[in-house]
């Protein structure tokens, strides 16, 4: 594994990048703070100038991940406009795309055991990401008769859970979880079945 260096004044980000590499290779609990320091090219003592410990470092990785994730979800939502259905489906695909492109961040966010309520900043950033999917769900649910309309928060939670399940089982090389279909196809058809059950497929939706 190559040793990472850092420019003066950029030690904090060098440590974050080192942790990203270690998380991808060893998982969120499979490395020590000393390993992170070594990979960043500094002494373990230098780490404590910026972070209290390993969990603090992982929380910072998760924060940066949620920032990227929120921006990606917002971009997906905007790209689907002006179609409510297009925007909603785009946010589902964005979830899978994020997990593929940013595996270290994804693990820190969803598999490290770090609570989103660890810091106010982390809580706010994760809420921003969730709010985009909830907004997309709210837009789409306007096409459901009010007496049959689920709360937007429930609607978005169902799709989040479906997206997360596809990622965990079929997009992250989980042992024993083999599918004859691509994760993208599983997610798209799963969302389709869900939306059809709500009467949102096979009808014109703007």
Give the three-state DSSP class for 99: helix
- Mean pLDDT of all residues in 149-159: 88
10 Å Cβ neighbour count for 191? 21
DSSP class of residue 146 equals G
| Rounded Cα–Cα distance for residues 200 and 143 (Å) | 7
pTM of the model: 0.84
CA–CA separation, 46 vs 12, rounded Å?
10
What is residue 115's predicted lDDT score, i.e. its pLDDT? 92
- Here the contacts of 41-45 (C-beta below 8 Å, separation 24 or greater) are 41/3, 41/4, 41/5, 41/6, 41/14, 42/6, 42/11, 42/14, 42/15
Residue among 99, 116, 89, 69 nearest 164 (CA): 99
Checking if the pLDDT of 33 tops 90, the result is no
CATH number belonging to domain 59-197: 1.10.357.10
Cα 161 to chain centroid distance, Å, stands at 12
- Structural domain spans, the chain: 11-47, 59-197
pLDDT tens profile 166-197? 888 887 665 556 677 888 888 888 988 888 88
DSSP 70: H
Distance CA 85, CA 77 (A): 10
Phi, psi (degrees; rounded to nearest 5) at 78: -65, -35
Q: Is 155 helix (H, G, I), strand (E, B) or coil?
A: helix
The predicted pLDDT at position 118 comes to 92
Continuous H helices in 81-119: 84-101, 103-110
Position 202 confidence tier, pLDDT thresholds 50, 70, 90: low
Q: Are 114 and 108 in contact (CB under 8 A)?
A: yes
Q: What is the pLDDT of residue 122?
A: 94
Mean pLDDT computed over every residue of the chain: 85
Distance between CA atoms of 48 and 50, rounded to whole angstroms? 5
Q: Check pLDDT > 50 for residue 44.
A: yes
* Neighbouring C-alpha atoms within 13 Å toward the C-beta of 164: 12
């Amino acid at each position: 594994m190559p040793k990472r260096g850092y420019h003066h004044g950029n030690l904090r980000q060098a440590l974050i990048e080192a942790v990203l590499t270690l998380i991808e290779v060893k998982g969120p609990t499979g490395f020590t703070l000393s390993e992170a320091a070594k990979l960043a090219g500094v002494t373990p003592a230098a780490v404590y100038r910026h972070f209290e410990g390993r969990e603090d470092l992982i929380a910072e990785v998760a924060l940066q991940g949620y920032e990227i994730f929120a921006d990606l979800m917002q971009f997906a939502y905007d790209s689907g406009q002006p179609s409510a259905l297009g925007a909603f489906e785009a946010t589902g695909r964005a979830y899978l795309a994020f997990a593929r492109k940013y595996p270290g961040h994804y693990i820190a966010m969803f598999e490290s055991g770090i609570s989103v309520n660890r810091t106010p900043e982390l809580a706010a950033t994760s809420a921003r990401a969730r709010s985009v999917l909830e907004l997309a769900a709210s837009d789409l649910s306007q096409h459901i008769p009010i007496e049959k309309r689920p709360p937007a928060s429930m609607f978005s939670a169902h799709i989040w859970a479906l997206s997360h399940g596809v990622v965990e089982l079929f997009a992250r090389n989980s042992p024993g979880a083999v599918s004859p279909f691509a994760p993208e196809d599983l997610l798209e058809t799963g969302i389709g079945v869900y939306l059809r059950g709500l009467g949102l497929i096979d009808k014109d939706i703007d």
